[in-house]
Structure 1
């Protein structure tokens, strides 16, 4: 069966390439605006499902992999992609000595048979100075990353700890859970498929 990654994210594409599977990437065009009173877990679950459904219409019968992620600060605020240097610095200035939780949803399968899970991963931030934060932002320019950091790069220098079952979920695609999903759908990543 062919695999379609419902994403234009280069980070998710790079992660999926680690599994050495053949796939194509197709970006779904959906409205990602949170609904009124929607919890972070409800938001990422809904968006993964919508991305998968939109992509499946263009690729019937294919295995669709869709994911969405939100970061949540200690006050329950959903973190956004900063977009600019100033917004990234402002966002990171709120984190020192705080824990941020990332919720990454994963939809794998077809419209007839699929798996849908949410993987949680926490990061604790060191006590950083404004100069350190500005230096980090200038070096990595994490403007397209929720939470204003790249965990796969220099972002690790911001952390005092990381906690969770799947570190790839922090980057946006939980590969351990994805392998479980594919296995349950009869697609053996190591044996290719049954």
Structure 2
């Protein structure tokens, strides 16, 4: 067991479920972070910056903890796609992405609030969407309602039916928390998973 508490700086049920797979004790804290991209930022930089910001946002309340921050930005042709927030935005996103390969870049930060040491990783996943027709998009969105997911699709759910191919080093990264990289970062801080 780690000698420091572990805190997931996210209220995402998807990230919480992923971290549970490692079978280590942790708590969850809600980071109060504005997720708006800054002018001129690349999608990759935005994801890394927000992962760090989320970890730092909860550090004051958890000054002895190892804090995990993560954020994901989807992009196509350099244009970032955030969480759609509603049905109409999700329809537009999926229409733009159909038949195309989209980059989902997940930023990961492990902050040791006790020492101030911070480890950062970026994990890309490339998703090729099928050439979806409008009826498929509508049926999917009506059934799954993925309005809080970057890119308007949940690969861990019915959204897998939208996908033709995925490429990346960690399938968990697409869901929102790259566990392979996280295990590496936790080992750097002396946390043994096994």
Q: TM exceeds 0.5?
A: yes
Displacement of 1:134 in angstroms is 0.7
Counterpart for residue 67 of structure 1: 70
Equivalent in 8, 15, 20 of residue 18 of structure 2: 15
Structure 2: runs of 5 or more not aligned:
none
Q: Give the 3-state SS of the residue equivalent to 1:147 in structure 2.
A: helix
User: Once the two structures are superposed, what CA deviation does each residue of 1:69-118 show, in whole Å capped at 9, x if it has no partner?
Assistant: 10001x21100211112221121111121001011011113142231010
Rounded to whole Å, the distance in 1 between the matches of 2:55 and 2:111 is: 9
Structure 1: runs of 5 or more not aligned:
none
Counterpart for residue 179 of structure 2: 175
- Could you say what the CA RMSD is over the residues aligned between the two structures, in angstroms? 1.0
Does the 8 Å CA contact 2:42/2:78 hold for their aligned counterparts?
no
Are residue 189 (structure 1) and residue 181 (structure 2) matched?
no
Runs of 4+ in structure 1 off by over 6 angstroms are none
Give the TM-score, by structure 1 length. Answer: 0.94
Does the 8 Å CA contact 2:108/2:182 hold for their aligned counterparts?
yes
Rounded to whole Å, the distance in 2 between the matches of 1:32 and 1:95 is: 22
Are residue 128 (structure 1) and residue 132 (structure 2) matched?
yes
Displacement of 1:62 in angstroms is 0.5
Are residue 48 (structure 1) and residue 51 (structure 2) matched?
yes
Rounded to whole Å, the distance in 2 between the matches of 1:174 and 1:130 is: 32
- Tell me which moved more, 111-120 or 144-153: 111-120
Counterpart for residue 108 of structure 2: 106
Map 1:140-155; keep pairs closer than 5 Å.
Answer: 140-155=144-159
Rounded to whole Å, the distance in 1 between the matches of 2:82 and 2:48 is: 17
Displacement of 1:39 in angstroms is 1.1
Rounded to whole Å, the distance in 1 between the matches of 2:158 and 2:66 is: 33
Rounded to whole Å, the distance in 1 between the matches of 2:124 and 2:27 is: 26
Counterpart for residue 123 of structure 2: 119
User: Once the two structures are superposed, what CA deviation does each residue of 1:128-159 show, in whole Å capped at 9, x if it has no partner?
Assistant: 11111111111111111110001100111111
Rounded to whole Å, the distance in 2 between the matches of 1:82 and 1:47 is: 17
